[in-house]
Amino acid sequence: EEVKALMAVRGGYGCLRMLGCLEFSRFQTHPKWLIGFSDLTALLAATFMNAGLIGLHGPVVSSLAASDALSKKRFFSLLTGSFLPYVLKDKVTVLRSGTGRGRIVAGNLTTICHLIGTPWEPALTGTILLLEDTGEPMYKIDRMLTQLAWAGRFDNLTGLVLGTFDAGDRAVRDQLFQHQLFERVLELTAHTDFPIWGNFPFGHLSENQAIPYGMEAAMESGTTELTLYPG
């Protein structure tokens, strides 16, 4: 009962194996921050879907020291109950303007695809979806995004935000890689009208701003602000 947060030491594919063993009622009885990213997306999604637990998509113990100063500041401010808006005018690329409001679903693209069709798949209708990935070439990113699109998972979003995508052999800001990513996302969401941003500072690099998974938020493209509503 005295523990206020559970922070992963590192990521790991074993998170997916754990889902069938969790007693979600315990999270409801003793709610606390569950903190992590990458493969931890599976645990964040499952505990929110089954226990209503708002988690924290953010650094793990092994990555916190390497996080940049702004990411550390954001992380510790959220832990102490400060939910300031993300003001990202100089960082975010607005791919499609507009406003959108909904609960945040944030995580690793590969892991979210692995959850499709399982009892722990996040319900995406009416949500702002934030995606990131690392070490994947563009053709694999394309394939996973296309899977989400063909499965109808983009159809009823209220916003889409792309974080960092590190292809492993190419820098995340490589112009060709970035152009292909943005172009494909716009193609797959052409039938929708929600706002879409790129280059949001979260993912597998030192810029990994912590984001409350499951919390209500609003996107405002005019000011490139993501405002949290902890309610």
Q: What H or E segment, with its residue span, contains residue 229?
A: strand 225-229
Whose structure tokens read 């590969």?
A: 110
82 is catalytic: no
Q: Tell me the H-state helices in the chain.
A: 14-18, 24-29, 41-51, 61-64, 69-79, 109-115, 138-150, 175-188
Catalytic residue among 38, 67, 71, 221: 38
Cα 31 to its chain centre, rounded Å, is 21
SS3 (DSSP) at 3: coil
Task: Quote the DSSP letter at residue 198.
Answer: E
- Residue 125 is classified by DSSP as T
Res 82: pLDDT: 93
Q: What is residue 9's predicted lDDT score, i.e. its pLDDT?
A: 92
Q: What is residue 157's DSSP assignment?
A: -
Q: Which of 63, 132, 207, 221 is catalytic?
A: 132
Which one, of 91, 47, 42, 81, lies nearest residue 208 by Cα? 91
Q: How far apart are alpha carbons 105 and 205 in whole angstroms?
A: 19
Sequence-separated (6 or more) residues with CB below 8 Å from residue 117:
none
Q: Which of 114, 204, 207, 221 is catalytic?
A: 204
pLDDT of residue 173: 56
Domains of the chain: 66-229 (3.50.30.60)
Is 206 assigned a catalytic role? no
- Res 14: pLDDT: 81
Global pTM? 0.94
Secondary structure tally for the chain: helices H, strands E: 8, 12
| SS3 assignment, position 46 | helix
- For the chain, the residue count is 231
Catalytic site includes residue 114: no
Q: What's the pLDDT at 169?
A: 59
Q: Pairing mode, if any, of strands 225-229 and 86-87?
A: antiparallel
Q: What's the pLDDT at 170? A: 58
Per-10-residue mean pLDDT, the chain, length 231: 87 86 90 93 95 94 91 94 90 96 98 96 98 92 98 98 79 75 98 97 90 98 96 77
**Cα separation, 151 vs 159, whole angstroms:** 17
